């Protein structure tokens, strides 16, 4: 039903797509996979009318299809959920969901109908507990992602493009999303599904198209390939997805948190991390993992709680991120666009920002040294960019994430907090990051990893703590954890007290 042939697209300095063909059948889920920067989002944007190809033909139901903008694409029945969040923080959830077709008469918004309709759709994607009138700004990033998805589902369509919809979702929401996808399939909607989570793709898709460096590698029926086949096609070499987790010997206590509380998001959280140890944090979306780390890092002022560093007997005074960084802590935030990057500035400046002291003397920056260091990290994490002078804004999502990580590696801290470090990162790079986490731990750093992907946590962590509705409800170590145990812990507080947590606005 949809066909694209010979699509070319270049951005200044890169060829994002070259001579790409794709076809999509009604009612199928067609997965697009490839490394970061392979061109998946570019293709999605072209289909969705946001970018125009330099050359190439597209046909929709045998008719030429060349949308000039998003509105034209949608009127042809092509809708998409973009990789980066594009919500309007100051508007309500309902208004965001129905943004381009607000129910109205003579231009006056029918608020009641809007909220009713929104509630219905939100129910479908598992946002039923949230008031449709609440501002999107007040939601956590995972919930925002769900709102994006809800907005995508809010209208009938013939083609639905989902660009990494699950990057910051937990299993629970992912399952709900898959239900919706199946429902769309029965309505004969063609679905393009982009993800870096190979298991997901194997579960949901009918066919898989692999891209590498903007070129088509292959299109195969899902049944005919294994996950290692896919990875080989993506990366161009073999990669054992199994982590090489070695037995580590934890050192002294690096960080001890006692009774940390912040508003009603974080309740009396205590834990400790040793040097050379990786502690994972699992939990449902919006459970307060991010809030815990923000309070710990001084990004929000904690109401209560003591933090003891490096085995000290007196609590450290951490009131601002500056205090935290001085005390040797690093925080790789989940929202790289708003909280991690200087989007308009070159990669080089982003990497060195946290530690300009190393490249300057008497307050003067040594430009050559700065470039050298930036290139070093670009190499180390194989960041795909034109040069260290390219604005980060122009990098693909995964590469942006690597830039954020480079910034903190360069800062060289002893305690590193990674909040969803692999969000939007391809398998190859994910593997590199796991390895990196391992190496850092081996070097005696204390590491905290938050992830919505439990398998990922189980692969890299020495211990896993589970947060539920702001409380630390369980801690598992080594061999005692199973996905089921973790999941039931994550739900525990909500079952005990069903009104909590998910409705922050009902005071």
Partner 1 sequence: MKHKIKNLHTAVKDYIGMLVALTALLAIFGLSTKNFFTFTTFRTIANQIPAITIMAVGMTFVLIIAGIDLSVGSVLALSGAVLGVCIVNFKLPLPLAIIACMGVGLICGLINGFIVIKWKLPSFIVTLGMLEVARGAAYSVTGSRTMYIGPAVEVITETAALGLSLPFIIAVVIVIAGQFILARTVFGRYIIAIGTNEEAVRLSGIEPGPLKLWVFIICGVLASVAAVMHTARLSSANPNEGLGMELQAIAAVVIGGTSLMGGRGSVVSTFFGALIIAVLGAGLAQMGAQEPTKRIITGCVIVAAVILDTYRHRLSSRKIT
Binding site for partner 1 (CB under 8 A): 10, 12-13, 49-50, 69-71, 73-74, 82, 86-91, 95, 99-100, 102, 104, 107-109, 111, 263-264, 297, 299, 320-322, 324-326, 331, 333, 338-345, 349, 353-354, 356-357, 360, 363-365, 367, 407, 411, 504-505, 507
Nearer to ligand ATP, 12 or 363 (CB): 12
Listing DSSP states for 492-505 in one string gives: HHHHHSTTSSS-TT
Q: How far apart are CA 152 and CA 498, in angstroms?
A: 28
Sheet strands (E) in 213-276: 215-221, 253-262, 266-274
Q: Among ligand ATP, partner 1, Mg ion, none, what does residue 219 contact (CB within 5–8 Å per kind)?
A: none
Q: How far is the CB of 117 from Mg ion (least distance, A)?
A: 28
Q: Which of 18, 83, 115, 170 binds Mg ion (CB under 5 A)?
A: 83
Does 56 interact with ligand ATP (rule: CB under 6 A)? Answer: no
Binding flag, residue 292, Mg ion (CB under 5 A): no
Which of 152, 213, 158 shows the shortest CA–CA distance to 191?
Answer: 158
CB of 390 to Mg ion, least distance (A): 17
d(CA 275, CA 444): 5
List C-alpha distances in Å: 100 to 79, 94, 95, 104: 12, 11, 9, 11
CA distances, 24 to each of 177, 188, 362 (Å): 20, 11, 60
Nearest to 127 by CA among 162, 153, 90: 153
Helix H or strand E encompassing 115: helix 111-125
3-state secondary structure 417-481: EEECCCCCCCHHHHHHHHHHHHHHHHCCCEEEEECCCHHHHHHHCCEEEEEECCEEEEEEEHHHC
C-alpha triplet 236, 240, 242: angle, nearest 5°: 150
Regarding 290 and contact with Mg ion (CB under 5 A), the answer is yes
Cα–Cα distance between 39 and 406 in angstroms, integer?
23
Residue 132 binding target from partner 1, Mg ion, ligand ATP, none, CB below 5 to 8 Å by type: none
User: What is the footprint of ligand ATP within residues 221-280 (CB under 6 A)?
Assistant: 265
Sequence-distant (6+) residues with CB within 8 A of 192 are 24, 30, 31, 32, 44, 47, 159, 160, 161, 162
Question: Sheet of 446-450: strands edge to edge?
Answer: 329-332, 415-419, 446-450, 277-283, 463-468, 471-477
Out of ligand ATP, partner 1, Mg ion, none, which partner does residue 322 contact, by CB within 5 to 8 A per kind?
partner 1
Site string for Mg ion, 393-412 (x = CB under 5 A): ----x---------------
Run of H or E residues at 125: helix 111-125
Decide whether 102 or 487 has the Cβ nearer to partner 1.
Answer: 102
Within residues 95-154, the interface with ligand ATP by CB under 6 A covers: 138-143
Give the total of residues touching ligand ATP (CB under 6 A). 41
The minimum distance between CB 354 and ligand ATP, in angstroms, equals 23
User: To the nearest whole angstrom, how small is the minimum distance from the Cβ of residue 115 to Mg ion?
Assistant: 26
CB of 121 to ligand ATP, least distance (A): 18
394 binds, among ligand ATP, partner 1, Mg ion, none (CB under 5 to 8 A by kind): ligand ATP
Contact partner at residue 69 from partner 1, ligand ATP, Mg ion, none, CB < 5 to 8 Å by partner kind: partner 1
**Other beta carbons within 10 Å of 315:** 14
Looking at beta carbons only, is 68 or 186 nearer to ligand ATP?
Answer: 68
Q: How far apart are CA 281 and CA 461, in angstroms?
A: 9
Candidate segments 56-64, 71-79, 288-296, 361-369, binder of ligand ATP by CB under 6 A: 288-296
Candidate list 74, 334, 370, 432; residue touching ligand ATP; CB under 6 A: 334
Partner interacting with residue 349 (select from Mg ion, partner 1, ligand ATP, none; CB below 5-8 Å by kind):
partner 1
User: Directed axis angle between helix 111-125 and helix 141-153, to 10°?
Assistant: 110
Binding site for ligand ATP (CB under 6 A): 11-12, 14, 16, 34, 36-42, 83, 138-143, 168, 265, 283, 285-291, 334, 384, 394-398, 424, 426, 452, 501, 504
């Amino acid at each position: 039903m949809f066909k694209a042939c010979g699509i070319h697209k270049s951005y200044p300095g890169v060829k994002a797509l070259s001579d790409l063909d794709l076809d999509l059948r009604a009612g199928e889920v067609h997965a697009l996979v490839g490394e970061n920067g392979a061109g998946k989002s570019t293709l999605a944007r072209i289909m969705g009318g946001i970018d125009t190809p330099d050359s190439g033909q597209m046909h929709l139901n045998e008719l030429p299809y060349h949308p000039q903008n998003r509105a034209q694409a949608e009127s042809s029945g092509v809708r998409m959920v973009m990789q980066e969040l594009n919500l309007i923080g100051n508007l309500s959830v309902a208004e965001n969901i129905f943004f381009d077709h607000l129910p109205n008469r003579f231009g006056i918004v029918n608020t009641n109908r809007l909220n009713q309709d929104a509630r219905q759709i939100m129910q479908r994607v598992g946002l039923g507990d949230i008031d449709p009138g609440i501002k999107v700004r007040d939601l956590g990033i995972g919930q925002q992602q769900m709102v994006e998805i809800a907005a995508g589902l809010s209208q009938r369509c013939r083609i639905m493009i989902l660009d990494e919809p699950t990057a910051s979702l937990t299993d629970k929401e992912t399952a709900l999303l898959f239900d919706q996808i199946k429902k769309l399939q029965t309505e004969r909607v063609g679905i393009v599904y982009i993800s870096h989570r190979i298991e997901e793709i194997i579960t949901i898709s009918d066919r898989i198209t692999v891209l590498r460096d903007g070129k088509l590698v292959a299109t195969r029926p899902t049944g005919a390939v294994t996950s290692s086949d896919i990875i080989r096609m993506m990366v161009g070499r073999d990669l054992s997805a199994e982590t090489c987790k070695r037995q580590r010997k934890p050192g002294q206590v690096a960080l001890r948190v006692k009774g940390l509380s912040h508003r009603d998001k974080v309740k009396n959280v205590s834990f400790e991390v040793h040097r050379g140890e990786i502690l994972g944090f699992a939990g449902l979306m919006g459970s307060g993992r991010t809030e815990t780390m923000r309070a710990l890092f001084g990004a929000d002022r904690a109401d209560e709680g003591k933090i003891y560093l490096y085995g000290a007997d007196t609590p450290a005074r951490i009131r601002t991120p500056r205090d935290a960084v001085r005390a040797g802590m690093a925080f790789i935030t989940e929202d790289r666009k708003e909280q991690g990057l200087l989007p308009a500035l070159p990669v080089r400046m982003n990497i060195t920002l946290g530690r300009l002291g190393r490249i300057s003397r008497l307050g003067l920056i040594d430009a050559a040294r700065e470039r050298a260091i930036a290139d070093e990290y670009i190499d180390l994490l194989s960041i795909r960019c034109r040069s260290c002078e390219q604005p980060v804004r122009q990098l693909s999502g995964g590469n942006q994430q690597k830039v954020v990580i480079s910034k903190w590696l360069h800062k060289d801290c002893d305690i590193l907090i990674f909040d969803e470090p692999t969000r939007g990162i391809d398998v190859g790079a994910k593997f590199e990051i796991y390895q990196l986490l391992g190496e850092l731990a081996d070097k005696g750093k204390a590491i905290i990893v938050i992830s919505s992907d439990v398998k990922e946590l189980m692969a890299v962590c020495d211990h896993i703590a589970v947060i539920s509705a702001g409380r630390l409800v369980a801690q598992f170590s080594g061999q005692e954890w199973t996905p089921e145990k973790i999941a039931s812990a994550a739900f525990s507080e909500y079952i005990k007290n069903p009104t909590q947590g998910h409705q922050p606005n009902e005071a």
